[in-house]
Chains A and B, each alone.
Chain A
Amino acid sequence: MSETTRLLKPEELTPATELTRQVLEQLDRSLLGRAELHRLVLIGLLSRGHILLEGLPGLGKTALVQTIGNVMKLQFSRVQFTPDLMPGDVLGTHILQETDTGKREMIFEPGPVFTNILLADEINRASPKTQSAMLETMQEHSVTLRGQTRPLPDPFFVLASQNPIEMEGTYPLPEAQLDRFLFRVMFDAVDASVLQNIITGRRRGNVPAPEWQLDADDLNYLFSVMEHIFLPKPVASYIARLVSATHPDNAEAPEPVARYVQYGASPRAAIAMAEAARAHALVDGRPTVGFEDVRAIARPVLNHRLILNYQARFDRVDAHGVLDQLLEALDDTGLHLPEDVSLQPTR
């Protein structure tokens, strides 16, 4: 049995799970009422994926990213995307400088992308030119300028935010760039009790400093544990069937997919889903991935990867509605029991 297929022992997994628990605890303490969202973002980071945060202004998108940077003791940069922002403003640029010997040469001045966590605030306000400059950084974790490729710091995450309203003067992200985000996470409004806690506990909305920080070694340890979270074949098969079923011409595609989806998810989605399911199992303290892990991360992984047709727009159906029905219709075990036959646990 090779090292990669070795199952983690409890004593190896438990410290990692404990670390994730502490990170979540810090996040939950800093930002109130967002436990599930924190969990998703942590899963995204453990999967080394980029996350697109979508929500109305004032819901705490930027605060969340800042808090993550603080908790993880990682370098953090923020770029406010505007229509006149140029690629050089993000990636960096070459400046003609005079050296000590009196010669003049082009010196590379790194942009804000050379960091661990990049907050691309309101990314859809930048021009397509600037948006596409992010493609290489997100996929290859490197920047190529004047024929020279420079690697970005490891780890590198892009946490982008966009506002679903005020669409005038914006440039919606192209599908190719959307596909590079592991998750698209929706920020919903918090309920009244959480609001009351925020008002009473946070003067001027200041986020308290974390009491504990995850250092680089811990993060690397978490990444190494992630490598050993085992994905059983039936679960891999379920992920593959699930992604395939998002295509309208697939035999297992349920009726809503066939009716409303124009293009389904890419193989990159299946890879992302497997990785995110592993992270979910790690956070849950399990050395193996189960069906429930896949179900938990399926919506944020797939919701921005389904391209719906005009019929869906006419019928006011969104990707979440289609995904709900897809997850409901697809049998995870592949057993395909008839309707009048069911399994019941032994008492």
Chain B
Amino acid sequence: MMFRRTALRWMGVWLMGLGVLALVVRLTASLPPYWWAYGLGSLVILLGAAWQRELKRRPSAEQLRATFDKENKAGGLVMADAEVNTEAWAERQNNLRLPNLRWRGGRAYGGLMLALIFLAVTLLVPTRFAKLLAEPPLEIGQTIEQAREQVNILEEENILSEQEAEVKRSELERLKEDATGFNPAKTWEALDHLKLSNQNLAEQAAQEALEKMAALTEAELLGNAVDKMPADAAPDSEEKALKELGALLNDLLDNEALENLAPEIQKALQQAGQKNLPMDPEQLAPLLKALRENKDALQKLAQKLAQNNLIPPGLAEQLKGAGELPGGQALKDLLAKGGFQQEELREFLEQMGQGQGGLERGPGAGPTQYGQPTDEAGAAFKEEKLSPSVSLNQARLAGVTSSAPEVTGGEAVLGRDALQNTQAGGGSALTAPVLPRHRGTVNRFFQRGED
């Protein structure tokens, strides 16, 4: 019975271990062809070990005899029978009976059944379920889609080449397949790296667009100024401004910042630039239109990138701000950069009329009026003459006293302010007054030396 008990308990553990082993083998590879033979072989070894163990734990004859004596309440007679002759007490030993050994094996059998069921499940469960259990998926579909959309936008806007975009898309696909719940950090790290790379490319493109936008705005500002110049303006100023505008536009063309411009206008601009001639005023209107269209395109690009979280919203706002036409000071700086002298500049701007930003009067539709001082009534401080302070070296010594200060009822007292409680010539810093009842003691203390 004890062997059966041990064997059953060990078999339960063994079957559980076998189940775990079978599950691992099925997940990582496939079961070997004669796996059941290995299982049976190990079972035989296990049973042999259980038999060996129970042989070693077998109770001695003395222990069995003692147990037999105790169970029969023989009072030591059965035990004594091994050492002395107990025939004289045979009558008392007639009714001895072997006790039954009872094993409550419900738990062992239950454990064995559970282990068997577990083994069966591990052998019969479909591998895909097992793999699902082994590798829980990581839900990253939405994030992958967002990253793919970003790649598409970068490709559309020619920020990424077609090959580069394809590489990124295949990388995303691989991430989606390899993502498991066992190691989510690895997947999230790779995704973050990809998204950061996209954002860096987009920000670089947005910075370039910002520079282009600034150049386009400058050109539009000058173009507008020339366009609004009155008919009776000085021909020199107009010619000079047109030359400057032509140079700006040629720079834009060189930097590929101005697109969708008609080829004949482009050619004429380049020829005028080469010969250092002012550009044709007739071409001003289509040029301005082209400038505005290019600016709009840049703004749309910035909005698109911002909407897809590729660039920070602040950068898109910055680009939008760069596209707005600045006031008179910017035009003045621009013209000064083009070689306008001070007087020419004043003349040019005056020709543009009021309300477009003058030199001294500031922005606004009307002239700013100066020369009306603010009324200070009720706002100014009331003047009051303070009493003059007297320095110590100018103070006059009125007298010296060693007596306690006396209350004089508002009359002047000796030793005021910083000199209060001090003794003239003594350098004393004593500030505590000596009470009248202590005065004698203090005096005696200081006069001891004199005695």
Contact = CB atoms under 8 A, between A and B. Distances in A.
Is B a genuine binding partner of A?
yes
Interface of A: 1, 5-7, 9-10, 230-235, 281, 284, 286-293, 332-335, 338, 340-346
A344 B99 contact: yes
B69 A290 contact: yes
B5 interface: yes
The range of chain B's interface size is 35 or more
A341 B101 contact: yes
5 contacts: A234-B66, A288-B80, A290-B75, A292-B73, A340-B103
B22 interface: no
B133 interface: no
Interface in B47-80: 59, 62-67, 69-77, 79-80
Given A233-B62, A342-B104, 11 more contacts: A5-B83, A7-B80, A7-B85, A7-B88, A232-B66, A333-B67, A335-B63, A340-B105, A341-B5, A341-B102, A343-B67
A341 B2 contact: yes
B80 A232 contact: yes
Nearest to B74: A290
A288 B101 CA distance: 26
A291 B70 contact: yes
Contacts of A344: 99-100, 102
B404 to A, nearest CB: 71
Interface string B92-135: 00000111111111011000000000000000000000000000
Contacts of A233: 62, 79, 82-83
Contacts of B99: 343-346
Contact of B89 (A287, A291, A345): A287
A200 B105 CA distance: 60
B100 A232 contact: no
B102 A288 contact: no
Instruction: Pick the most buried of A232, A340, A343: most chain B CB atoms within 10 A of its CB.
Output: A232
Sorted nearest first, the 9 A-B pairs with minimum C-beta distance are A288-B76, A232-B79, A234-B66, A290-B76, A290-B75, A346-B97, A333-B66, A288-B80, A286-B75
Contacts of A291: 66, 69-70, 76
Interface string B1-21: 110010000000000000000
Interface of B: 1-2, 5, 59, 62-67, 69-77, 79-80, 82-86, 88-89, 97-105, 107-108
A289 B84 CA distance: 13
A234 B63 contact: yes
Nearest to B106: A340
Contacts of B104: 340-342
Nearest to A346: B97
Given A9-B88, A233-B83, A345 B75 contact: no
A70 B82 CA distance: 42
Given A6-B84, A346-B100, A234 B75 contact: no
Which of A7, A9, A10: most chain B CB closer than 10 A? A7
A219 B67 CA distance: 35
Contact of B66 (A231, A332, A345): A332
Contacts of A287: 77, 80, 89
B63 A333 contact: yes
A298 to B, nearest CB: 15
A266 B79 CA distance: 26
Contact of B84 (A7, A281, A292): A7
Contacts of A10: 88-89
B97 A345 contact: yes
Contacts of A343: 67, 71, 99-102
A340 B104 CA distance: 5
B2, B67, B98: most-surrounded residue (chain A CB, <10 A) = B67
Contacts of A332: 66, 70
A235 B79 contact: yes
B79 A234 contact: yes
Contacts of B88: 7, 9-10
Contacts of A293: 75-76
A199 to B, nearest CB: 40
A235 B63 contact: no
Nearest to A277: B76
A132 B165 CA distance: 105
- Best-buried of A231, A233, A290 by chain B (most CB within 10 Å): A290
A340 B101 CA distance: 11
Contacts of B76: 230-232, 235, 281, 286, 288-291, 293
Nearest to A7: B84
Chain B CB count within 10 A is highest, among A288, A335, A342, for A288
Contacts of A290: 69-70, 73-76, 79
A14 to B, nearest CB: 12
Contacts of B64: 335
Contacts of B65: 234
A344 B100 CA distance: 5
